[in-house]
Amino acid sequence: MAITRRQFTQLIGVGAIGAAVFKAPAAFAQDGGTLRIAMNTSDIGNLDPHFASGSQDRAIVDMIFNGLVRYVPGKSDEFEADLAEAIPDPVTNDDGTQSWTFTLKSGVKTHATDGADSADLTVDDLLFSFTKAANAETSAYAGNYAGWAFAAGDGENEFVVTVPVPISTSLFLPNVANYSGGYVIPQAAFEAVGAEAFVSHPVGTGPFAFVAHTPQLSVELTAHADFFRGAPQLAGVNVMFQADATARELALQAGDYDVIYGVSESSWAQRLDDLDGFTADVFGVGEVVWLNFNIEHDILKDVKVREAIFKAISRDNYVALSGAPVGEKVFSVVPAFLPGGLSEEDAEAAGVNYQQDIEGAKALLAEAGYPDGFELDMIASEQTAYRTTSEVLQEELRQIGITVNLEVVQHATMHELIRQDRNAITIYIAFRPTADIYLTQFFSTDGGVTNFSKFTVNDLRDQARGELDADAQAELWRQANIEILQNYAGYGLMFQNQVFVRRDEVDYGHELTAVVQLYPGINETTSMG
């Protein structure tokens, strides 16, 4: 068949367009040194670090802000100086208060933003930031700073934090570290942006500076060249939002992402790890899953009923939801990886390592006057971890004759309803950085509506707060945990480690043991080969 010159030219044209369109994944390959991390959400929540609570928000603010001290990258139990020159020793004052005097490093530059040029961070900024963090109207973490006072010190760049009674380093440092209220917000930048806009336009001093937020798509960060520990190796970070796990996985394989938030299942993590060119990281800190038993509930106020329910439970069933090593057992509400948590041996020695015993549970229920069991209503969240935990509990209790009527609601609705005492047994899943916070929020009168069990360990908690020796303090926390278990008020089931998958070229720049900010930890040392 003959072909005319015109037809030939058209063919060449079509071929060229086709080649351009279908050419090569190279056109989608990562652009230079910008790391793209996909989080399991559809958008940001609140990027004011003193309000940030969602995992995507915590990850973003961690890259933008600093604390006076910081968790050693990749670890959740060691601190080192960050904005401060060093971690000071506390001084007990004549009036019984305790002061910590920090010296702010010189030459820490704030990010530039409209209306506020980059400037040296000052003690006034520290005063502003901590005062904001301690105010319930401007911070969700104000409760951590109750009674604390902040002032400029006598020396140059000195900043003094005074707490009402002496507390241990382990209780003090998390509140001045790179977590929640401890993140330092530069005053001029905050005022230039405005409190309302700061929620989606944060300005700090960290290795990466905020550039733009594209709703439902991404938050773009750029390297802060004047970062005080040195310019970041990455050109920037794009935090991208993709709520669908399968789509995240496919986009990672397609080269659209460099790091993705994974699925909390060991088999999934192993499958991704087996793929060429990808590594699945399973690391702490885990979110603890535990049960709170309302000891004032009409039926559950009988200790035999609560004991029966304890005997119906097997931690293995809950760990199986994720599989090891993503899921691990815990033996108290405070996990063993925090000081004050019970290990299996601790629980065994204290006689509170309860085992599943269905027949024993039935006998106890009969003794309590419920030989045929009873019905319980339970509000459950639609979120997978909550829903599956509820379903396992429902099945375990069915075996001893207790019918659990589950009502699955939106997550925020669940939080609202459980604070109205709608559940006799409340499932809670959370990470808190210290045993004190777990005990205060959930097992003390200070917890208010989150004291779901109505059981309190105020005395032991207070004794531990006043204990300056770390070992003795941890022992008091352990005693509090044992008391909770002995009274069948709280039952630690498991914790779920974090799972992230990265391209092999991504090097976080640190070991990955546990990160309290709930992501792998990206800083100036992170690079891509």
Partner 1 sequence: MLRHILRRLLLAIPTLWAVVTIIFLVVRVVPGDPARAVLGDYASEETINAYREQMGLNDSLWVQYKNYIFGLLQGDLGNSLVTRTPAWDQIRNVLPHTIELSIAAIILALAVGIPMGVISAMKRNTTIDYVTRVVSLAGLSAPAFYIGLLLMYIFAAKLGWFPAVGAGDFSDPWDNLRRLVLPALTLGMVETASVTRMTRSVMLNVLNADYVRTARAKGLVESRVMREHALRSAMVPIISLVGIFTIGLIGGSVLTEQVFGRPGLGSRLVGATRQFDYNMVQAIMVVYAFIIVIVNIIVDIVYTYVDPRVRNS
Binding site for partner 1 (CB under 8 A): 21-22, 24-25, 27-28, 38, 42-46, 51, 53-54, 136-137, 139-143, 180, 196-197, 199-200, 214-218, 240-244, 246-247, 250-251, 253-257, 409-413, 415-417, 419, 430, 448-450
Contact 19, 242 (CB under 8 A): no
Task: Kindly state the smallest distance separating residue 278's Cβ from partner 1, in Å.
Answer: 12
Task: Kindly state the smallest distance separating residue 429's Cβ from partner 1, in Å.
Answer: 10
Decide whether 171 or 313 has the Cβ nearer to partner 1. 171
Decide whether 137 or 372 has the Cβ nearer to partner 1. 137
Q: Which two tokens stand for residue 456?
A: 């309190």
Decide whether 42 or 445 has the Cβ nearer to partner 1. 42
For residue 240, give the 3-state DSSP assignment: strand
Q: Where are the beta strands (DSSP E) in 235-305?
A: 236-241, 259-261, 278-293
Compute the residue count for the chain: 529
Q: Which helix (H) or strand (E) holds 239?
A: strand 236-241
**Cis preceding-peptide flag for 285 (omega within 30 of 0):** yes
Decide whether 119 or 142 has the Cβ nearer to partner 1. 142
| Nearest-angstrom CA–CA distance, 162 and 145 | 10
Nearest to 175 by CA among 238, 116, 129, 233: 129
Decide whether 43 or 357 has the Cβ nearer to partner 1. 43
Decide whether 253 or 458 has the Cβ nearer to partner 1. 253
Instruction: Report how far apart, in Å, the C-alpha atoms of 419 and of each of 294, 392, 442 are.
Output: 12, 22, 11
Task: Kindly state the smallest distance separating residue 214's Cβ from partner 1, in Å.
Answer: 7
**Cis preceding-peptide flag for 325 (omega within 30 of 0):** yes
| Nearest-angstrom CA–CA distance, 166 and 154 | 21
Cross-strand partners of 500: 261, 281
Contact 209, 203 (CB under 8 A): yes
Decide whether 95 or 276 has the Cβ nearer to partner 1. 276
Decide whether 135 or 355 has the Cβ nearer to partner 1. 135
Decide whether 158 or 273 has the Cβ nearer to partner 1. 273
Task: Kindly state the smallest distance separating residue 262's Cβ from partner 1, in Å.
Answer: 16
List the Cα angle 233/239/243 in 5-degree steps: 150
Cross-strand partners of 107: none
Contact 366, 325 (CB under 8 A): no
Task: Kindly state the smallest distance separating residue 79's Cβ from partner 1, in Å.
Answer: 21
Instruction: Report how far apart, in Å, the C-alpha atoms of 217 and of each of 243, 312, 500 are.
Output: 11, 45, 19
For residue 517, give the 3-state DSSP assignment: coil
Task: Kindly state the smallest distance separating residue 362's Cβ from partner 1, in Å.
Answer: 35
Contact 80, 169 (CB under 8 A): no
Cross-strand partners of 283: 498
Task: Kindly state the smallest distance separating residue 115's Cβ from partner 1, in Å.
Answer: 17
Decide whether 137 or 156 has the Cβ nearer to partner 1. 137
Decide whether 437 or 476 has the Cβ nearer to partner 1. 437
Cross-strand partners of 507: 527
Task: Kindly state the smallest distance separating residue 231's Cβ from partner 1, in Å.
Answer: 27
Cross-strand partners of 84: 104
Task: Kindly state the smallest distance separating residue 50's Cβ from partner 1, in Å.
Answer: 10
Task: Kindly state the smallest distance separating residue 28's Cβ from partner 1, in Å.
Answer: 5
Q: Which two tokens stand for residue 290?
A: 């535990």
Task: Kindly state the smallest distance separating residue 412's Cβ from partner 1, in Å.
Answer: 4
Decide whether 144 or 473 has the Cβ nearer to partner 1. 144
**DSSP for 6-19, written as a single string:** HHHHHHHHHHHHHH
Task: Kindly state the smallest distance separating residue 328's Cβ from partner 1, in Å.
Answer: 22
Contact 292, 233 (CB under 8 A): no
